[in-house]
Each structure stands twice: as C-alpha cells, then as structure tokens.
C-alpha cells in the first residue's frame, strides 16, 4: 500500500499538493491529467526522486519520507524506458540485481524466470540498441520487476508504441499485481488505456487531486466539471434545476429544458457524452424516458465511429452528438437524449 498524507512539494515553477491519497496493495492504479498537471511529479515523490516539503509518504505502513530511493523497494520506469543501449537484454535485466549484491547463480535463475513470464527469453543475448519499441517496453518491465519491488511506477509506458503493440501489452500489464504482488501506479493520457487497466482512477490538475474512484464511476458519473470535460463530456452546460413529481427539470435558457433523474435543485451542470445523443432527421414520438430538442446542423466532422455533429439549438446553446448518418449543414434535426444518460453535477462543480 502507498499512502501520501498532506504531501506538498515546492518546485521552481510549480507547487504539487497538498495531496492525500491511498493506493491499496496489489492493485492497478491509473493517474490521468493534462500536461503539466503533476502526474510525473506524483511518481517521483513516491520514488524519492523529489523531496517532500510538507507531509509524509508511507509504503506498507512504513514512513519512507526521508528514505533515499534505493531504500524504498520501489521500481520506476520512466517514459523513455532508459534501456542501456550498450548492454545486452540480459545485462539490462541483471543490472538492479547486481547492485543489490544478488549472487550470480540466483541472478541467472531470476532473469530466466522473468524473461519467460514476459515472453522475452529469445531476446536475452541481443543488444538493447536493436530492440523494437514493444521489446524495449518488456525489457524495461523485466528490469523493474526482477528485483521484486513492492511498488511499480510507470510513466506513460505505452505512449511510444503503436496501437497494435499497446493492445497486446495491456493484458500483460493488467496481470502484474496478481503475478508479482506489486502495487502499480501508472501515468497516462489515454482514456481507453486507463479504463482498461484501472482498479482505481486518479485525476490530477494543477498539482492537486480533483477526482478519484472506480473507473466506471469516474468516466460516467464524475463529481467535478473539470473531470467531465477532461474525460470527454463534450456537452457540459450550466443550468438551473427544479424538482418535479418525476425527477427534476433543468432549464438551460431560452425555453430549452431537460428532464433528468433524481431530485436536484438550484444551479447545476448538465453533462452529456456525444454518443448518448441520438440525431434524428424526422419527428419521433417522445416519451417519459427521452428529451427531444429541435436544432439545426451547423458542422459535421467524420471520425472512425461515424460523424461528430454540431447542432445549434438556439443562439445560446449548441450540442455535439455522434451519428452514423452524414447530415448536411443547415439541415433541421431532432436530438433525442435519454434522461437516464444525463449526468448532473450540483453547484459550482
């Protein structure tokens, strides 16, 4: 388990914290946030690379705040993997074991074991300079895991790989906590990567944790407006809610209202993913489960899932929807929005 208690770090142009967070033992934890938000700083604080200005860092209940990196039982894989090009793969993996004084015979056994686990036995005699990106990634993991750390820190480990290679490595990463009894903390920019791997998801902005929780909850029912916008809710609209006999009514201005589930009132933000909105070219019967809004297609952009359609509802409001039909700019349409899919964040978010 890794715990940060009131941790603050003062860097030259950046303040990280205060941060209070717990990563449970043998879990896979994903950290998301915009560039410069403090994601890598979090890893370096846990690794002991950055000194803590205030607060404490605990690993499995032990206070390691003032311990140097080599005494923390933590392995850190930086974004560029930091493979030693002049060494063979075997020598790269062996490096940490030699520093720890592990006898040669035991080193060989451990290296063969980790290479077999990660499917890189055939690479052991090869020079690291000749490896592909996916091979380098596996070698970096092997070097980090062979010393049996309690904590494994991964800084965007898949960012330099093509999509096919990433998809082949993700199942391997997901097995690490169970296979090696390690707590994994993994920084990424990729939503799909985070959703696929996370037991717990952490969102950081401007050096502070703004959201944490189960990935399903964070991706579909975030508590903060920043999180909603960052994780793809392209429709985040401020409105005013009133309770009704069957849920609540949110007024968005100029005669536009949405029925939503739950009892909310006062100032709120309505959050809707584009894929939750159905674009219709003809009138359709409304019912209690749907909101139907009339609008005009303003812009359409083709993507791999169909078309992103920007629909102007009135002079104040535009909505982005996902459609399989190539509507034309200027075409009148209906937007059908299931009330079950509308997420409401109370207050100032």
- The model's pLDDT over 231-244, given as tens digits with 9 standing for 90+, comes to 989 999 999 999 88
CA–CA gap between residue 344 and residue 222 (Å, rounded): 9
DSSP reduced 3-state for 261? coil
The answer to whether the CB of 176 falls within 8 A of the CB of 152 is: yes
pTM, 2 dp: 0.90
CA–CA gap between residue 14 and residue 150 (Å, rounded): 29
CATH 3.40.50.300 domain span(s) along the chain = 2-229
At residue 281, the pLDDT reads 79
**193, containing H or E segment:** helix 191-197
At residue 47, the pLDDT reads 96
CATH 2.40.50.140 domain span(s) along the chain = 233-346
**2, containing H or E segment:** strand 2-10
At residue 274, the pLDDT reads 93
Q: Which fold has domain 233-346?
A: OB fold (Dihydrolipoamide Acetyltransferase, E2P) (2.40.50)
CA–CA gap between residue 279 and residue 294 (Å, rounded): 10
91: Cβ contacts below 8 Å, ≥ 6 apart: 84
At residue 128, the pLDDT reads 86
Give CATH for domain 2-229: 3.40.50.300
Start-to-end C-alpha separation, the chain? 30
At residue 185, the pLDDT reads 97
At residue 348, the pLDDT reads 66
Which residue stretches of the chain have pLDDT < 70?
A: 282-289, 348-349
Nearest CA among 33, 137, 131 for reference residue 79: 137
The answer to whether the CB of 30 falls within 8 A of the CB of 191 is: no
């Amino acid at each position: 388990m890794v715990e940060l208690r009131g941790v603050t770090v003062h860097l030259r142009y950046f303040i990280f914290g205060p941060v209070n967070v717990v990563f449970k033992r043998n879990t896979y934890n994903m950290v998301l946030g915009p560039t410069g938000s403090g994601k890598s700083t979090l890893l370096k604080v846990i690794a002991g690379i950055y000194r803590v200005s205030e607060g404490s860092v605990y690993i499995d209940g032990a206070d390691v705040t003032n311990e140097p990196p080599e005494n923390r039982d933590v392995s850190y894989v930086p974004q560029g993997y930091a493979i030693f090009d002049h060494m063979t793969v075997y020598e790269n993996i062996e490096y940490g074991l030699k520093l720890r004084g592990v006898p040669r015979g035991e080193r060989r056994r451990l290296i063969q074991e980790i290479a077999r686990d990660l499917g890189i036995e055939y690479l052991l005699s090869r020079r690291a300079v000749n490896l592909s990106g996916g091979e380098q990634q596996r070698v970096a993991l092997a070097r980090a895991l062979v010393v049996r750390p309690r904590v494994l820190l991964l800084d965007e480990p898949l960012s330099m790989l093509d999509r096919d290679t990433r998809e082949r490595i993700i199942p391997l990463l997901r097995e690490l906590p169970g296979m090696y009894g390690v707590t994994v903390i993994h920084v990424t920019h990729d939503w799909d990567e985070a959703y696929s791997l996370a037991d717990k998801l952490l969102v950081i902005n401007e050096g502070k944790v703004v959201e944490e929780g189960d990935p399903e909850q964070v991706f579909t029912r975030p508590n903060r407006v920043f999180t909603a916008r960052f994780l793809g809710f392209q429709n985040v609209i401020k409105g005013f809610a009133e309770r009704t006999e069957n849920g609540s009514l949110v007024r968005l201005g100029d005669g536009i209202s949405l029925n939503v589930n739950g009892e909310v009132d006062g100032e709120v933000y309505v959050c809707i993913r584009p894929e939750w909105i159905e674009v219709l070219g003809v009138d359709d019967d409304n019912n209690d489960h749907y909101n139907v809004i009339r609008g005009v297609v303003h812009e359409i952009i083709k993507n791999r899932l169909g078309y992103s359609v920007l629909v102007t509802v009135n002079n104040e409001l535009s909505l982005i929807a996902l459609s399989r039909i190539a509507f034309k700019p200027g075409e009148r349409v209906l937007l059908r929005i299931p009330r079950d899919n509308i997420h409401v964040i109370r207050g100032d978010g």
